[in-house]
Structure 1
Amino acid sequence: MLPPRRAVNGAATPSLLFGLRIAMSVVTVALAGAAAIMAVASARLARKVVTPAPRLPDTRIVSLDTAAQTISLTKNPDTALPGRYGLFTTGTSGYVKLGSILAEDDASVTRKLLTHVAPTARLDADAAFSGWYYERPEELHLAYTPELVGSAVGPCPAWLFPAGEGDVWVIQVHGRGTTRSECLRAVPVFHALGVTSLVVSYRNDGEAPRSKTGTYGLGSTEWRDVDAAVSFARRRGAKRVILMGWSMGGAIVLQVSLNSAHRDLIAGIVLDSPVIDWRVVLSYQAKQMHVPTAVTDIALEALQHEWASPVTGAGTGIPLDRLDVVARAAELRHPILILHSDDDGFVPSDASHDLVSARPDLVQLEVFEVARHTKLWNYDQERWSTAIRGWLSAHMLSVESGSSTESNPAE
């Protein structure tokens, strides 16, 4: 056997060089693989952000007692909230209303049913807890008409609830992954003050027409449909318009206030659990899903560029800088009321606090706790309504002939 070859005067032998090349190739392949995995994960995250998705179950029905008209659900931070809520179900009923908590333990919560469920009813176990409460406009027992608001993508369905003299309107804009029914809770408090409500839909929400891409613009495109609703209100006699947005609806109405040709008609803005800076929201949600920060950063970057749209599905770049209203706070000109829970759990309230700090002359923040995302009305209806009434009065946006108290529609 020949002895192993050694380096002469410190020079590497051919076998050592070959080994180094193999090692470098392995490292290169590994890095390329890691980069590819990150790229795929980032693309999936970016696509998920802009793609409308069906409502997913977030709880399970443990038991249903039709004799006592009670229902038990698996316990989570939402199902354990005090107040009145809704539950999306499958089976005999598609939606039922829930009342107060009657009993709870570490695993489940038992609530009163406010929708009668017949003894013969069958409800599947998977369900989705909701802050909607009201599912249809008829449940408010207020006069209304179905309307169509013409927009660039086509006619967008809306509900119109006339009130007062018809010169002060509020346009209600729902959030991501939901429909205009989300806004029905707010109609009675405005109606009691003589403010006409227009509850609108917008592109790709499942009710309004689909855009070419069928994806969300996170407010960068949807605002045009809501701006068309402002024009609709003006043609119908509105002299002052209040914009109210829920969650992503908040991002939408803020863009209307910044970009609309009807800015002179806008008298104020009310925001419930709003998105004010998408980077804050998406970074928070990615952390909740244990997505690595590097993947989130790549996804956010990809969303902003048109060249990435074949991967993200957005169709065009989404201008996150333009959607950052804290950064654009100096451009604001309308008074704003924000209602936000500090333990929102989905859209953190950080940007809401930042906007107050940036524009204390225009922005008022009503801070809730425990109430979670877009469930402030459900958790404390009186405080929520009082905050809106007081803000409207302070800015002379309520109609004097309206009642000072909110009606409570019968079940």
Structure 2
Amino acid sequence: MKSLRHAVAVVLPLLLAIGAAAAVTVLATARRVVTPSSRRNDTRIIAVDTGAQTIELDRTLDTELPGRYGLFTTGTYDYVKLGAVLGASAHTVRRKLLTQIAPGSRIDRDAAFSGWYYVSPQELHLPWEDVLIGTPAGPCPAWFFPASVSGAAPADIWVIQVHGRGTTRAECLRAVPVFHRLGLPTLVVSYRNDGEAPPSRGGSYALGASEWHDVDAAIGHALRHGAQRVILMGWSMGGAIVLQAAVSSAHRGRIASLILDSPVVDWRTVLRFQAREGGLREPLPALAMGALENSFTARLSGAEHAIAFDRLDMVSRASELETPILLLHSDDDGFVPSDASHALAAARPDLVTMPTFTGARHTKLWNYDQSSWTSAIVDWLTARALVSESH
């Protein structure tokens, strides 16, 4: 009760001082940070040519990217795959369809552009099975892809992949064939509040501060089923979760390495950037983060607990890291800026390898340049003797 009175005494005058409208904006901004998000339509379909099997889209920084992508749609198809850019004007882009669209199909105009490409494990044409991992949040579903060597004993190094914010396990499927060819079993996991795993009591994100416990449980699962060491791979917010596991897990001695794709290394850097992109100016972003750091206003914002941004800042905690890290991040990410990734690489050059990528946007390195992305992973794992050169 004393701590609550103290919080009220400290925070309420601040909110009153900045004005009622600003206070509402601050709390609403904080709420958006911790509220699990659903997929947002960000692309408009102009036309579909079922004869030529092409699709015309509004031109954006994402839809004009070269490579293979996906498009979440409604109507006859839930999801279609997109190939090469065939032409572009000032406002539109025409791409090859890799999903055969039948004449007469209905495809609604509003869609969501995606780097997932694969949406189900069946599409990989690899052996796999559904598993449940017991975690503090409850049983979390995962996909397990065994090693490629038929009939061989279980490989002693497993890969555990962790998806990002507002997505599901399917985000990780792009990487599975790479690890499969290397002979590494892969566990693709879910975590609390991601829409597949059980929700926590309050149903809000902790930005990695709580979710890492579910990844820790996945490490324990792997160790009980034949793994001796694990490679953790995190995508976007999954990178933040993996980094927290790397410094907090009871199994940290069994973590052989980290692979981070477009990771959140420091949330303050990310949230300031996203606030600027959304037209929100200081001091409102700083006040929103301050609201989440205080237990009273954090609850007003929908968070279950106060969020300690200092503990989520892995640049300032770089000295605590012990495992080699491959950091893959496009310098024009557009959603999670690469600044903190570069800062981590500069702070721990003994551990961090960060090849240069540009032009790929957020979590679309595989889509944009699959060859370079794959080579970066294979060469790095081989150099550290985590896989054999014969692969």
TM bucket (normalised to shorter chain) is: over 0.9
1:47-87 Cα distance to aligned partner (Å, 9 max, x none): 00000121111110000011111111100000000000000
Q: 2:338 aligns with which of 343, 346, 349?
A: 349
1:152-180 Cα distance to aligned partner (Å, 9 max, x none): 11110100000044211100000000000
Q: 1:125 aligns with which of 109, 115, 138?
A: 109
Distance of 2:123 and 2:144 partners within structure 1: 14
Query: Given that residues 382 and 389 in structure 2 are in contact (C-alpha distance below 8 angstroms), is that contact kept between their aligned partners in structure 1?
Result: no
- Over 6 Å off, 4+ runs: none
Query: Given that residues 244 and 269 in structure 1 are in contact (C-alpha distance below 8 angstroms), is that contact kept between their aligned partners in structure 2?
Result: yes
1:95 correspondence with 2:79: yes
Calculate percent identity across the aligned residue pairs: 60
What is the TM-score of this pair, normalised by structure 2? 0.93
User: Aligned AA for 1:115?
Assistant: T
1:282 correspondence with 2:271: yes
Query: Given that residues 193 and 400 in structure 1 are in contact (C-alpha distance below 8 angstroms), is that contact kept between their aligned partners in structure 2?
Result: no
Distance of 2:116 and 2:158 partners within structure 1: 22
Structure 2, gaps ≥5 residues long: 1-14
Alignment of 1:3-402 (within 5 A): 35-163=19-147, 164=149, 165-399=154-388
Structure 1, gaps ≥5 residues long: 1-30, 405-411
What's the offset of the Cα at 1:292?
1.6
Aligned match of 2:7: none
Distance of 1:396 and 1:223 partners within structure 2: 27
The structure whose Rg is larger is: 1
Query: Given that residues 194 and 400 in structure 1 are in contact (C-alpha distance below 8 angstroms), is that contact kept between their aligned partners in structure 2?
Result: no
Moved more, 274-283 or 312-321: 312-321
What is the TM-score of this pair, normalised by structure 1? 0.89
Distance of 2:137 and 2:117 partners within structure 1: 30
Distance of 2:27 and 2:285 partners within structure 1: 10
Distance of 2:141 and 2:374 partners within structure 1: 26
The count of aligned residue pairs is 372
Classify 1:70/1:294 alpha carbon distance in 2 versus 1 (closer, same or farther; 3 Å): same
Distance of 2:155 and 2:50 partners within structure 1: 44
Q: Secondary structure at the match of 1:368?
A: coil
Query: Given that residues 201 and 208 in structure 1 are in contact (C-alpha distance below 8 angstroms), is that contact kept between their aligned partners in structure 2?
Result: yes
User: Aligned AA for 2:287?
Assistant: I
User: Aligned AA for 1:125?
Assistant: R
Query: Given that residues 343 and 372 in structure 1 are in contact (C-alpha distance below 8 angstroms), is that contact kept between their aligned partners in structure 2?
Result: yes
Distance of 1:297 and 1:184 partners within structure 2: 36
User: Aligned AA for 1:65?
Assistant: D
What's the offset of the Cα at 1:305?
1.5
What's the offset of the Cα at 1:120?
2.1
